[in-house]
Amino acid sequence: MQSLACVPLVLLAVLMAPHAMRGTASGNKVAFVGGTMKTFSRDMQGHLILDDKQLLFSARKGAPLRIPYHNIRSLEFGRKVGRMPEAAIVPGAAALDRKKHFLTIRFVNASGENEGVVLEIAQDIFRSILPVLQTRTGKQVVELVDQPKLAFATRPPKPKPVPKPEAPQQIAVRFTSTPAGADVLINGEFWGSTPTVALTRLPAGTHTVVVRKSGYSPWQQTVTLAPGDERTIMAELALKPYDPTQPRISGN
């Protein structure tokens, strides 16, 4: 009779054992550092519990903070605080102990508002829960690494000098004509009278040259110039044929 009376108690203990073990294994000591919620104070001690469906921060005072895994937006871990919503109250970098590690959790609440919490957690404890945390949230934990100071051996290399563009080669062209004293027009613009000095302002390319003088038929030619050209262009002008319809001016 006594053994039968003990059966219900033994059976109850067996059924409760997994839940007790789960709560003990996932109840890791942490401390509240800051966040958007005002129910916790700085350095308040508590436990971080990874339940089947939610992350739970249970402090010594007040109601626990429950965050469903599907509401978590990002996880960051390191010796500094990660990104937080504007409404969050967190200590500045100068106020943090650089030897400690912090877990920054960004999430949305039941109303769809952005929230965040920062918990101080020992590095070895965090490493032990990292696989479970990433699996249940579906988020990769971003590790916050401080930028190392540059040593003398790792000075940034001096920038390479930018090569100066080579100056374009000048073009020198002179125009002469028979007879001399004729006007030279290049692309419709007057450039002087023959014989001209060496013209060095002409760009490379194709140009239309017209040489004209009163009483002579205009001379026209298309000239193609290349960088570095030095040329003399000679224009032989022909007298205009006699036109009896044109008035003639004669002296007394």
8-12, 108-112, 118-122: the lowest-pLDDT one: 8-12
For the chain, the C-alpha Rg in angstroms (whole number) is 46
Residue ranges in the chain assigned as alpha helix (H): 2-26, 123-137
State percent of the chain over pLDDT 90: 34
pLDDT tens-place string over residues 137-156: 999 999 887 654 444 445 66
Most confident of 33-47, 143-157, 160-174, 211-225: 211-225
Q: Residue 7 to residues 2, 17, 19, 21: CA-CA distances in angstroms?
A: 9, 15, 20, 21
pLDDT tens-place string over residues 1-14: 344 344 343 333 33
Q: Chain centroid to CA 134: how far? A: 29
Q: Residue 94 to residues 80, 81, 82, 97, 217: CA-CA distances in angstroms?
A: 10, 11, 14, 8, 91
Residue reference for tokens 């036109």? 243
- Domains assigned to the chain: 25-145 (2.30.29.30), 172-236 (2.60.40.1120)
pLDDT at 250 over 70: no
206 vs 16, more confident: 206
pLDDT tens-place string over residues 64-109: 899 999 999 999 998 888 888 887 888 776 677 778 899 999 999 9
Strands 183-186 and 205-212: antiparallel
146 vs 58, more confident: 58
pLDDT at 23 over 60: no
Handedness of CA 94, 97, 99, 105 (dihedral sign): negative
pLDDT at 247 over 70: no
Tokens of 168: 């374009």
- The pLDDT mean for the chain works out to 80
Check if the beta carbon of residue 60 is closer than 8 Å to that of residue 45: yes
**Distance between CA atoms of 161 and 158, rounded to whole angstroms?**
9
Q: Calculate mean pLDDT across residues 51-56.
A: 90
**Distance between CA atoms of 46 and 64, rounded to whole angstroms?**
9
Q: Is 152 helix (H, G, I), strand (E, B) or coil?
A: helix
Q: Calculate mean pLDDT across residues 154-179.
A: 81
State percent of the chain over pLDDT 70: 81
pLDDT of residue 16: 39
Q: Residue 142 to residues 75, 105, 117: CA-CA distances in angstroms?
A: 6, 11, 15
Check if the beta carbon of residue 62 is closer than 8 Å to that of residue 53: no
Q: Calculate mean pLDDT across residues 183-206.
A: 88
pLDDT of residue 162: 85
pLDDT of residue 90: 81
Annotate 37-97 with DSSP letters as a single string: -SSS-TT-EEEEEE-SSEEEEEESSSPPEEEEGGGEEEEEEESS-----TT-B---GGGS-
Does residue 247 have a cis peptide bond before it, meaning omega lies within 30 degrees of 0? no
pLDDT of residue 202: 83
pLDDT at 21 over 60: no
Handedness of CA 70, 72, 65, 38 (dihedral sign): negative
